[in-house]
């Protein structure tokens, strides 16, 4: 990892690696409960934005220590990460943990290189809303409302998509987009988070306030909600929890 992160006063360079331990741990637990616990077959899973690789690596390592081999998931995950510094860190962690046969990393844009025939897409996508990408970490820019990349991931026609959705990044727009693409919400997990290093940048915080005035951001003085959402094509879904998720994400 290049440099060390401290809270709001520090400057971050282009090659900085995303660092928000609370968020990455939550993503890791969502992967475990919403994706990896679902089967024992060897499915192909693709990941948008692997970062330093720790969320997937930690889930796989926890499964290896807690679940007997016969009932353990054997999914193979192909992770795509655009930032070369993050890719290098992730690659060396995979080597260290001897997980090359389970987690294959690519230093490429997901949109250029990801296989189209995967069973499931997973991501903690860039969701920082801002008028342009001149923010602390440009690769975290999620477009005007923060949901642009997330919504694009929902147009790629993977049967299942597990993505983190933030309550300040137009969550209702994402749920609408998912429905238009034929997805329903079949499971979710939610955690409260405090505004962190990237979302506390004044330019971003002021923009989020504008989104709230437009009914596109939901948060309190202290927290926002981050949800791990499992979307599945309605043809393979057994339940639709979209209304329940709307209630939670708009509660603040
Ligand atoms: C919010 S971070 C998540 C990192 C990691 N998954 C985690 O949860 O700790 C989003 C990541 O997406 C990467 N990214 C942005 N655009 C990308 C693209 N087009 N293809 C692949 N990765 C991309 C960023 O560099 C960043 O590392």
- The pLDDT tens digits for 56-94 are 999 999 988 888 787 778 899 999 999 999 999 999 999
For ligand 1, atom 6, the nearest C-alpha belongs to 50
Q: What is the mean pLDDT of residues 223-233?
A: 98
Set out the domains of the chain in order of their start, with CATH numbers: 21-249 (3.40.50.150)
Ligand 1 centre to CA of 69 (Å) is 30
Ligand 1 binding residues, C-beta < 6 A: 18, 24, 27, 48-51, 55, 80-83, 86, 109-111, 124, 126, 139-140
H/E run at residue 164: strand 160-166
| Structure confidence at residue 40 (pLDDT) | 63
* Residue 28 reports pLDDT greater than 60: yes
For ligand 1, atom 20, the nearest C-alpha belongs to 109
How far is Cα of residue 57 from the mean position of the Cα atoms in its chain?
A: 15
pLDDT tens for each residue of 183-204: 999 999 999 999 999 999 999 9
DSSP line for 44-61: EEEEE--TTSHHHHHHHH
Ligand 1 centre to CA of 20 (Å) is 12
Measured between alpha carbons, how far is residue 222 from residues 166, 179, 200 in Å?
15, 31, 12
Q: Which two tokens stand for residue 251?
A: 């509660």
* Residue 210 reports pLDDT greater than 70: yes
The best mutation among 20, 27, 47, 51 to test binding of ligand 1, ranked by most ligand atoms within 8 Å of the C-beta, falls on 51
| Structure confidence at residue 73 (pLDDT) | 80
156 exposed, middle or buried (CB, 10 Å; 0-12, 13-18, 19+)?
A: middle
* Residue 11 reports pLDDT greater than 80: no
99: CB partners within 8 A, 6+ apart: 57, 60, 61
For ligand 1, atom 5, the nearest C-alpha belongs to 51
User: Tokens 């998509």 label which residue?
Assistant: 161
For ligand 1, atom 13, the nearest C-alpha belongs to 49
The CA distance from 207 to 129, in Å, is: 7
H/E run at residue 189: strand 183-193
* Residue 112 reports pLDDT greater than 90: yes
The CA distance from 88 to 4, in Å, is: 16
> Of 63 and 123, which is predicted with more confidence?
123
Alpha helices (runs of H) in the chain, residue ranges in sequence order: 21-30, 54-66, 84-96, 110-113, 148-153, 171-180, 202-213, 242-249
């Amino acid at each position: 990892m290049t440099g060390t992160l401290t809270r709001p006063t520090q400057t971050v360079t282009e090659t900085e690696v995303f660092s928000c331990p609370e968020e990455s741990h939550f993503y890791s637990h969502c992967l475990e409960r919403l994706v990896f616990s679902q089967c024992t077959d060897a499915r192909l899973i693709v990941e948008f934005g692997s970062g330093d690789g720790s969320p997937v690596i930690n889930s796989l390592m926890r499964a290896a220590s807690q679940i007997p081999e016969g009932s353990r998931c054997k999914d193979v995950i192909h992770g795509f990460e655009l930032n070369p510094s993050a890719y290098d860190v992730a690659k060396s962690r995979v080597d260290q943990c001897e997980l090359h046969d389970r987690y294959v990393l690519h230093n490429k844009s997901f949109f250029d290189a990801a296989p189209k025939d995967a069973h499931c897409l997973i991501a903690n996508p860039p969701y920082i809303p801002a008028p342009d990408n001149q923010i602390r970490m440009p690769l975290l820019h999620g477009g005007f409302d923060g949901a642009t990349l997330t919504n694009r991931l929902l147009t790629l026609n993977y049967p299942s998509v597990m993505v983190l959705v933030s309550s300040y990044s137009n969550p209702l727009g994402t749920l609408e987009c998912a429905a238009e693409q034929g997805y329903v919400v079949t499971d979710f997990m939610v955690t409260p988070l405090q505004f962190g290093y990237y979302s506390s940048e004044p330019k971003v915080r002021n923009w989020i306030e504008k989104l709230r005035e437009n009914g596109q951001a939901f948060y309190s003085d202290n927290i926002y909600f981050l949800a791990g959402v499992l979307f599945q094509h309605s043809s393979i879904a057994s339940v639709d929890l979209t209304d329940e998720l709307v209630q939670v994400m708009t509660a603040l």
